[in-house]
């Protein structure tokens, strides 16, 4: 079973003895294998025993693959513009062939992750919409999607900040930054597109970030049930904290490197730090869907 969610949620789920959190596998080829960035265990991917063994199990070693060819194949298959063809691949013969080859490769990787980790559930925190539709077609994958949403103003404020990427092993890099208008467009389009997953038969559960922070044990109980896992005592999870161990995550928010006791605290710094005109712009642009998700003017005050 494969389970998609965001970084902190994914890593909490990954603490379950029958689950493993692997980060954003959409970036495996580029950031993981080509750029050799740091795994969540703080080792370069090429030196991480977990990922080395996954490569051996899947292909006899990562060096058995033509990495540039994999990147080109990914580019031909996994784009938001191709979502309609993922749903109806019979409409384009050439795309159908590439889709079959790429999903077969992904299937080998996920099976290897399962075998190396011994986990029943793989938690993938990839946030690309197209990747969710792609995974719905991977042979042997029982996809469950945790559709994690956050108030649009908080998302816009987060993506406007300068944040270093600590996983780069050469030089310095930062996470991308977007204007409030562009973030609003992404927030609307990505969330709306995820509702369409029903056409693939994928089970999806809407979870609000704010609810997770307010009542983590209740919300994670829902998520464990979605993943088909017995929640058990959840001893690693408190009312406002979680105990995290090292992960083998590829890419994702820098918080994936946090270990030990980590506070679960609602971040609403945007109310204080975000320009009022930007707040109003985001509110107007995202109003219909924000309201549908229960975000009201009263709640934002």
Those residues whose C-beta lies under 8 Å from the C-beta of residue 180, and which sit 6 or more positions away, are 156, 160, 278, 281, 282
Across 125-147, b (16+ Cβ under 10 Å) vs e yields bbbbbbbbbbbbbbeebebbbbb
Give the tens place of pLDDT for each residue, 145-202: 999 999 999 999 988 876 666 666 666 665 678 899 999 999 999 999 999 999 999 9
215 Cα distance to chain centroid: 21
pTM (2 decimals)? 0.89
Instruction: Give the rounded percent of residues in the chain with a pLDDT score beyond 70.
Output: 92
């Amino acid at each position: 079973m494969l389970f998609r969610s965001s970084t902190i949620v994914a890593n909490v789920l990954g603490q379950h003895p029958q689950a493993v959190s692997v980060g954003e596998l959409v970036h495996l080829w580029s950031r993981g294998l080509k750029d050799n960035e740091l795994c969540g265990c703080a080792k370069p991917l090429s030196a991480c025993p977990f990922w080395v063994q996954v490569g051996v199990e899947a292909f006899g070693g990562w060096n058995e693959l033509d990495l540039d060819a994999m990147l080109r194949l990914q580019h031909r298959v996994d784009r938001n513009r191709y979502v309609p063809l993922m749903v109806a691949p019979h409409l384009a013969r050439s795309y159908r062939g590439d889709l079959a080859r790429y999903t077969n490769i992904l299937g080998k990787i996920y099976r290897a992750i399962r075998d190396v980790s011994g986990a029943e559930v793989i938690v993938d925190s990839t946030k690309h919409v197209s990747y969710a539709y792609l995974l719905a077609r991977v042979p042997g994958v029982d996809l469950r999607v945790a559709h994690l949403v956050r108030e649009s103003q908080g998302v816009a404020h987060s993506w406007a900040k300068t944040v270093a990427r600590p996983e780069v092993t050469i030089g310095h890099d930062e996470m991308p930054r977007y204007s409030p208008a562009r973030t609003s467009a992404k927030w609307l389009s990505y969330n709306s597109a995820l509702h369409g997953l029903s056409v693939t038969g994928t089970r999806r559960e809407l979870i609000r970030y704010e609810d997770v922070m307010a009542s983590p044990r209740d919300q994670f109980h829902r998520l464990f049930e979605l993943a088909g896992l017995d929640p058990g005592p959840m001893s690693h999870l408190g009312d406002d904290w979680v105990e995290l161990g090292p992960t083998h995550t590829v890419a994702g928010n820098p918080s994936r490197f946090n270990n030990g006791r980590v506070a679960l605290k609602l971040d609403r710094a945007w109310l204080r730090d975000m320009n009022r005109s930007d707040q109003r712009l985001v509110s107007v642009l995202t109003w219909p869907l924000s309201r549908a998700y229960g975000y009201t003017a009263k709640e934002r005050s």
